Amino acid sequence: VTGTTKLEQFPYSSKTLDVQASVAYVDTLGDITAYAIGGYTWVNRNDVERPVDTRHTDNARGSAGVTVGGGDVRAEGGTLYEYTVDHAKRWMWYGAVSVIATDALVVRAGMQFETGEPAQRVSDWAANAGFTVRF
Amino acid sequence: MRRIANAARLIAAAFVVVSAALPMKAGAAGVYENAAAEPAFLLSPRRPTFSADLDFSVNDPIEAAIYRIGATFPVTPPRSIPASAISPCVPVRAHGPANDARSRFSPPS
């Protein structure tokens, strides 16, 4: 379930079909995880009235990242690049830290920045915090 | 009077031209992506999980909060290791001549 205080800004339902291929490496101890993903997203609700930079259209994307850490603390970092059929580009970077507070509870916090063309950014930066309960 | 009307038309036309030339901020229409969520489905979880996230996004002058609530389940239940796969356990004495490094490497008396 996903929601927002600015529905206009985040039309999640316009992501219709996403196909991706991924490759990952996990070391024996689980201290390092590296991944790379390539994918293509087909969208609906393509509003042609909007400027090219801000139009949500079919796009190809590539991403890569790594998680490093042993014990109860892990650090994550990665990047995501999108290229739309209208030749708009988006490029974002993220970093996060996860802490295994207890066997059942994992808490995390992170930051994300977009470094692509300013006019094509959806979010200049974003802060994230969350938790996971493992049963 | 005509001068004023012409000036007003000129200002209106300039406003339209500038508005069309200036790109609209993507934040007004784009789709927010959480790059950290990309590898979310890369590995099947070993245990059922419940997670909640809150993002605070800024694309000046637009600010927004996004929440996510989700759950994951293992595709297959955790496998138990069959007894035959475990190598036989050989009892080792903690102390004694055979396992005492000092006795093994000490020069013969």
**What pLDDT score was predicted for residue A96?**
94
Among B36, B39, B42, select the one facing A112 at the smallest CB separation.
B36
- The CA distance from A116 to A43, in Å, is 21
Mean pLDDT of A41-62: 76
Contact B36 A78 (CB under 8 A): yes
Residues of B with CB below 8 A from A37's CB? 38-39, 42
Phi/psi at B6 (nearest 5 deg)? -65, -40
Can you give the pTM of this predicted structure? 0.66
B34 exposed, middle or buried (CB, 10 Å; 0-12, 13-18, 19+)?
buried
Contact A128 B36 (CB under 8 A): yes
CA atoms within a 13 Å half-sphere pointing along the CA-CB vector of B74: 10
- The average confidence (pLDDT) of chain A is 83
Among B31, B43, B54, select the one facing A24 at the smallest CB separation.
B43
- The average confidence (pLDDT) of chain B is 63
Question: SS3 for B5?
Answer: helix
Q: How confident is the model at residue A4 (pLDDT cuts 50, 70, 90)?
A: low
**What pLDDT score was predicted for residue B105?**
41
Among B30, B51, B64, select the one facing A131 at the smallest CB separation.
B51
DSSP one-letter code for A20: E
CA atoms within a 13 Å half-sphere pointing along the CA-CB vector of B51: 23
Per residue in B48-106, pLDDT (tens digit) is 889 998 888 888 777 878 888 888 888 776 666 666 666 655 554 445 444 444 434 44
Residues of B with CB below 8 A from A129's CB? 53-54
Cβ count within 10 A of residue B83: 6
